[in-house]
Structure 1
Amino acid sequence: MLLEVPILIGLMVAAIALAIAAKRASVPYNVALVLGGLLISVAHLLPGVPPLNPQVVFLICLPLLLFEGGITADLNGIRANAVPIGLLSTLGMILAIGATGAALHWMLHLAWGPALLLGSILAVTDTVSILYAFRRAPVPGRLAGIIQGESLFNDGTALVAYTAIAAVVAGGAAPTLGSLGGHVLLASVGGAVVGLAMGLLGGFIIRRAEDPLAEIMVTTAVALASYVLAEEVHLSGAISAVVAGLAVGVTLRREVPPQSQVAIHSFWEYATFGVNTFLFLSVGLDTRPEALQGHLPGVGIAVVAVVLGRAVAIYLPFLLLRLFKPAETIPLRWQHVFLVGNIKGALSIGLALGLPESTPAREQIVSIAFGVTLVSMVGQGLMLTSALKALGLFQQDAVALEMAGQRGKLIASRAAHVELDALHTQGLLPRAAYEHLRSEYQVNIARAERELRRISEQHLAEGAKDLLSMRRRLIDAERTALQGARRNGLIPEATAEEMLAHLDARMLDLEKVLHGGHPSKDSKEHKAS
């Protein structure tokens, strides 16, 4: 897919405008991009945008997103929840494909092969949307960890199943559950082995690079190579990319200097933001309402089939977990979240578009995949927060909200006080009015300061967290000043690099403490020095 420069600039401008609008309207960013892309497509605002190329999704976007998910994942959380994550991403995914395919076969009268193929396409969750939503949603930590872990690993299972079913459908034979399960198991385990080997190799090189830019290049190469290598030997490239990311993430946290950690994570944060923007816009841009009109009943039926299939894939494995491993039991309210949060995305569309032209019922499969994805991303994306609140899982910190409210009052009152002084100095305000208003705002400032002090004293943990957040802003100010001094030649390059490395170590420790971790040994040495 080649984009001309004017079209590329137009898409970037659209993405920026949609991001700002989403922020102002309190709409999820991914939903705004999908709707914006659909509007651009319908109104023909950017003619000449090429269709989404499945190879771009599979060979570039998916490896980068899964690898980033791996290096930023909480490995301890994945280990602690390995049983439910593994159960959902293997047995759960096979059940989802089978149940969804069966429902599509009976409700849409599709042949078993195309029905199961469409089931595998629609069983894939959108890793991007899941990670985006649950990294920010204030839900219980274990619930967020299981959902994020499942979203990382189930793509691998689904892609293996999709490949196997597509090959069987092309050959004209009906797939069997045994052959499908065996193929999924072999490809998943093999992909994990390839990913671990690539991740360990990448970690070995990173430890000896001692240059942040070279280390970023290594992580990028490992992300793409782990996926492609596994796919070349007919294993799961998705699982390979995730495991490689997990292995490299361990190396980054344990053996890489703070300055390199900050540089690598900043690069991957921007890279995934760009990829996410591209994918969400593409879903909207590639959706053709006129092509969906003839398949609207089928889309509605498929949405019901997907919900039924996901319900089987969630409640049955968790029932088995409760019967055979009670210590790992998942509360029923949490199980409902896996159903509501089953958002589809660009991967489903890429899988549908990647089907050969000779695939039976290809046009119907592609149209239904587009329709279900659009309904899922917009509908579920908008209702997710409300669903979490209805289930009592949206944990709003009352102390943090109270502190934020008092801080807002303090900021507003001080700004008004400054403006009041300026008006009085310019002679625009009579003395009596000035004194009256000045007294009023001083009372507001004093009251807000008193309340903030009271909250900090009564809730030491929240006060400490607030102090750490302020310290992080001060470190940013220090870094900006040092970089300016280096550019202007006020301090030598070597001195600036050393001082910036100390700041990166302090910033890294603040992030760890704010997220429940512990300061590193290196940082303590920096502070002592």
Structure 2
Amino acid sequence: MSAGGGGLTPEVAIAVIGVLGVGAQWIAWRLQMPAIVLMLAAGLAVGPGLEWLVPARDIGPLVEPMVAIAVAIILFEGGLTLNLHGLRDAATGVRRLVILGAPLGWLFSAMALHYVAGLGWAAASVFGGIMIVTGPTVIAPLLRQARLSRRPSVLLQWEAIVNDPIGALAAVLAFQVVTVSAAGGEMWSALVPLGLRFAVSGAIGWAAGWLVVQAFRRALVPEYMKVPVLFVAVLATFVGTDLIAHESGLLAVTLMGIVVANSDLPSFTELRRFKEHATILLVSGVFILLAASMDLGTLELLDWRAAAFLVVVILVVRPATVLLSLLGSGLPRNERLLVALTGPRGVVLVAVAGLFATKLVALGVEDGARVVPLAFALVAATVVLHGFTLAPLARALGLAGTDAPGLVIVGGSRFATALGSACKDLEIPVMVTDRNYTRLRGAREAGLPTYYGDILSEATEHGLDLVRYGVVLAATENDAYNTLVATDLAPEFGRENVFQISRAQEQSRRHALPSTLGAQPLGKGMSYLELSRLMTEGWEVKVTRLTEEFTLDDWRGRNPEAFLLGRVDGSGLRLLADGAEFKAVPGVRLLAMVPPEREAVAAGGH
């Protein structure tokens, strides 16, 4: 399996990159760690550490185009997440972070590079432009892990995605200025072409997005070909724009994604989910590829000034940029502080830095050789720091969900009120939602938080902050709607965290819904009508605490007719399907439907 001069064949190298990248993400999920930390460690281990995987040797000239195309698709997927309706009260902050934050970040970063890291002004101005980028590929998993509140989450996500192509173009501008200065030309000869690049790339990106939307909306593309057509359109837009206006493809594909995201396409959700899956593969692959491409000689260029530079960037440059940009924006101080102390860098910064470092060295700027190790050091430091501190910082500032994820009950009913009240007594966040205001009356009278509206509507997506909730129960009287809710929310909450009350038995197979749709049935598998009947007969949702003396078998022996709905332990609430097994250790509290004649026995263990 070796290539002629030693090493791995290209196909083996690509397979190794995939296994390491996805494997690192899976291990990080199991260990509740930032995935990018493990990916970086894996890439450095097999690359400069063991010299087992050397991309330049094993893959050759394909490395640079692979990284460029992957970054373009990543940015397009980022643009797909930027629905303008999602901005709402965060719009002012996003505008300021882009319009004011980008130039301020460029200036402060260049100053830190020159006065602290010791780079000349040529390399500092180019790399300072690249440092505007805050890493959308890193921000998204960090936000999911930290379960951040909606507005600061939107601020960080929009800033990262919008500033990514702007950072690349800032580096282009700085490099053109350096080139013109070296040739003794005038400044205008650098600025005018940049303006044209902005205009051309923006026009191409908007036109490409509009054409895709029109083709999909008018059914010119069959459903099964929409994702392939979209991929090809992204690649064509990126490459075509770069051919017309060099280094402008990133801006074009980002704008293309924003146009598609705001077009209200019926198939948009499926498109976005597929792109998210592709992005996970690309992010992991690019990180392994770039980390493995490092060499020990380059890393040895890092010294004490590089360490001082990292400290200044994290503790001075980033906070000063954000706080000055958001001054007078009306945003709460804790939100401004959280954004100011959160600035991880990622794939795009390393990729673009590597590109311009080579150009600077070719131009005769010796400091250009230090750009790549500084970029990797910045990525590693910020990813590790924010990966382990964002969640505690968000909790300290009151901008994150509770440690115990709460429960969303879709459908107002006596059963929903009883289950919600039991969760409230256990200090578990609970929200009861319904499309009928009257059905929420019982929940309101019980003091439960309620939301009047369709849980699947766009207004709910942008207006209801679900960061505190990790479990969903679809419990309306409409089996088809319950199935729709469970199917739609399963990818977001995780299928293991989505339940629905059992469907009523259909008299005919032609009326039955497919078993592949929906989620696992709650508890004993009772339907809405059966649960309503039990509530009418006096059944209640009760909480029982297991102890050394009162085990699960004891509870079942004393409550033969009762059935479990869920359990609460140190990790929070877990609903239970019929027959689900779990570790019934002392201290676990059981949520169960208990008949009236067993009430006194069940309450004894509370």
Give the residue type in structure 2 aligned to 1:198: A
- Provide closer, same or farther for how the CA distance between residues 175 and 136 of structure 1 changes in structure 2, counting only shifts above 3 A: farther
Hey, what's the Cα distance between the residues in 1 that align with 2:143 and 2:129? 24
**Residues 1:219 and 2:265 aligned together:** no
Per-residue deviation at 1:263? Answer: 4.1
Q: Assess, with a 3 A threshold, how the Cα gap between structure 1 residues 391 and 283 changes in structure 2: closer, same or farther.
A: farther
Flag the structure with higher strand content: 2
1:10 CA drift (Å)? 2.4
Q: CA deviation at 1:202?
A: 0.7
Distance 1:199 1:402, change over 3 A: closer
**Residue among 20, 25, 36 paired with 1:30:** 36
Deviations 1:166-198 (A, max 9, x none): 122234459999998887666445533332211
How far has the Cα of 1:474 moved from its partner?
A: 6.4
2:320 is matched with which residue?
312
Q: How far has the Cα of 1:318 moved from its partner?
A: 1.4
Q: For the Cα contact (< 8 Å) 1:53–1:350, is it kept in 2?
A: no
CA distance in 2, matches of 1:348, 1:212: 35
After TM superposition, the score normalised by the length of structure 2 is 0.62
Pick from 375, 388, 394 the counterpart of residue 388 of structure 1: 394
1:402–1:474 Cα change, 3 Å: closer
SS at match of 2:131: helix
Distance 2:187 2:332 in 1: 30
For residues 217 and 203 of structure 1, the distance between their equivalents in structure 2, rounded to whole angstroms, comes to 14
Q: Deviations over 1:208-230 (max 9, x none)?
A: 23522221122213322333343
* Aligned-residue offset at 1:365: 1.9
Alpha carbons of structure 1 residues 4 and 283: separation in structure 2 relative to 1, 3 Å? closer
Aligned to 2:342: 341
Partner of 1:249: 261
Matched letter for residue 400 of structure 1? G
The alpha carbon displacement at 1:270 in A equals: 1.8
**Contact 1:97–1:119, Cα closer than 8 Å, also in 2:** yes
Q: How does 1:47-86 map to 2 (within 5 A)?
A: 47-50=53-56, 53-58=63-68, 60-78=69-87, 81-86=90-95
Change (3 A) 1:386 1:159: same
Q: Given the superposition, is the C-alpha separation of residues 122 and 215 from structure 1 closer, same or farther in structure 2, using an over 3 Å criterion? A: same
Structure 1 partner of 2:252: 240
State the Cα distance separating 1:375 from its structure 2 match.
Answer: 1.6
Q: Aligned AA for 2:250?
A: A
State the alpha-carbon separation in 1 of the partners of residues 289 and 474 from structure 2: 39
Change (3 A) 1:389 1:238: same
1:156-171 matches, cutoff 5 A:
156-171=165-180
**C-alpha contact 1:298 1:368 (8 A) present in aligned 2:** no
* 2:147 maps to 1:138: yes
Q: Say whether 1:265 aligns with 2:272.
A: yes
2:307 match: 300
Deviation, 1:110, is 2.7
Q: Is the 8 A contact 1:94 1:181 kept in 2?
A: no
Quote the residue 2:119 is aligned against.
110
Q: Where in structure 2 are there 5+ consecutive unaligned residues?
A: 1-7, 410-417, 433-442, 456-470, 476-481, 489-494, 496-509, 519-606
Q: Distance in 2 between matches of 1:187 and 1:366?
A: 26
Q: Which amino acid aligns with 1:21?
A: I
1:295 is paired with a residue of what secondary structure? coil
- Shift of the 127–116 alpha-carbon distance from structure 1 to 2, 3 Å rule, reads same
Decide whether aligned partners of structure 1 residues 71 and 388 sit closer, same or farther in structure 2, where only a CA change above 3 A counts.
Answer: same
1:280 aligns with 2:287: yes
Instruction: Identify if the C-alpha distance between structure 1 residues 177 and 301 changes in structure 2 by more than 3 Å, giving closer, same or farther.
Output: farther
Q: CA deviation at 1:21?
A: 2.1
SS at match of 1:467: strand
Alpha-carbon distance in structure 1 between the residues aligned to 2:186 and 2:86: 35
**Cα displacement string for residues 409-444 of structure 1 (whole angstroms, at most 9, x for unaligned residues):** xxxxxxxxxxxxxxxxxxxxxxxxxxxxxxxxxxxx
Greater shift in the superposed pair: 121-130 or 467-476: 467-476
Cα distance in structure 2, aligned partners of 1:81 and 1:365: 34
The residue identity in structure 1 corresponding to 2:362 is S
- d(CA) in 2 for partners of 1:380 and 1:348? 16
Mapped contact 1:31–1:382 kept (Cα < 8 A)? no
Question: Which of these residues, 8, 11, 19, is aligned with residue 17 of structure 2?
Answer: 11
In the TM superposition, residue 453 of structure 1 has moved relative to its aligned partner by 10
**1:199 equivalent in structure 2:** 209
Structure 1: gaps of 5 or more residues: 323-327, 404-446, 481-494, 505-529
SS in structure 1 of the partner of residue 343 of structure 2 = coil
1:488 is matched with none
Are residues 204 and 25 of structure 1, via their aligned partners in 2, closer, same or farther at CA, if it must alter by over 3 Å?
same
The letter for the 1-side match of 2:178 is V
**Distance in 2 between residues matched to 1:9 and 1:106, nearest whole Å:** 43
Higher helix share: 1
Normalised TM-score (structure 1) = 0.70
The answer to whether the Cα contact below 8 Å between 1:283 and 1:345 also exists between their aligned partners in 2 is no
Shift of 1:117: 1.5
The one-letter amino acid of 1:248's match is V
Measured at CA, do residues 150 and 395 of structure 1 come closer, stay the same or move farther in structure 2, by a change above 3 Å? same
The higher relative CO (CA closer than 8 Å, separation ≥ 6) is in: 1
2:87 is paired with a residue of what secondary structure? helix
Alignment of 1:444-455 (within 5 A): 451=422
1:401 offset after TM fit, Å?
A: 7.1
Report the CA distance shift for 1:156/1:294 in structure 2 as closer, same or farther (over 3 A). Answer: closer
Q: CA deviation at 1:380?
A: 2.4
Equivalent-residue separation in structure 2 for 1:106 and 1:383 (angstroms) = 28
Deviation at residue 96 of structure 1 after TM alignment: 0.9
Q: Structure 1 residues 264 and 306, CA, compared in 2 at 3 Å: closer, same or farther?
A: same
When residues 109 and 50 of structure 1 are mapped into structure 2, their CA distance, relative to the original with a 3 A threshold, is closer
Which secondary structure does the structure 1 equivalent of 2:303 belong to? helix
Cα distance in 1 for partners of 2:73, 2:52 equals: 27
Quote the Cα distance in structure 2 between the aligned partners of 1:103 and 1:195.
Answer: 34
Q: How does 1:301-380 map to 2 (within 5 A)?
A: 301-307=308-314, 308-319=316-327, 322=328, 328-354=329-355, 355-356=358-359, 357-359=361-363, 360=365, 361-380=367-386
Code of the residue aligned with 2:47 in structure 1: it is S
Q: How many residues align?
A: 429
Matches within 5 A, 1:470-485: 471=483, 475=487
Q: Give the counterpart letter for 1:341 in structure 2.
A: T
Structure 1 residue identity aligned to 2:227? I
Per-residue deviation at 1:68?
1.2
3-state secondary structure, aligned to 2:231: helix
Deviation at 1:277, TM superposition (A): 1.1
Which of 104, 124, 130 is matched with 1:121 structurally? 130
Q: CA deviation at 1:107?
A: 2.4
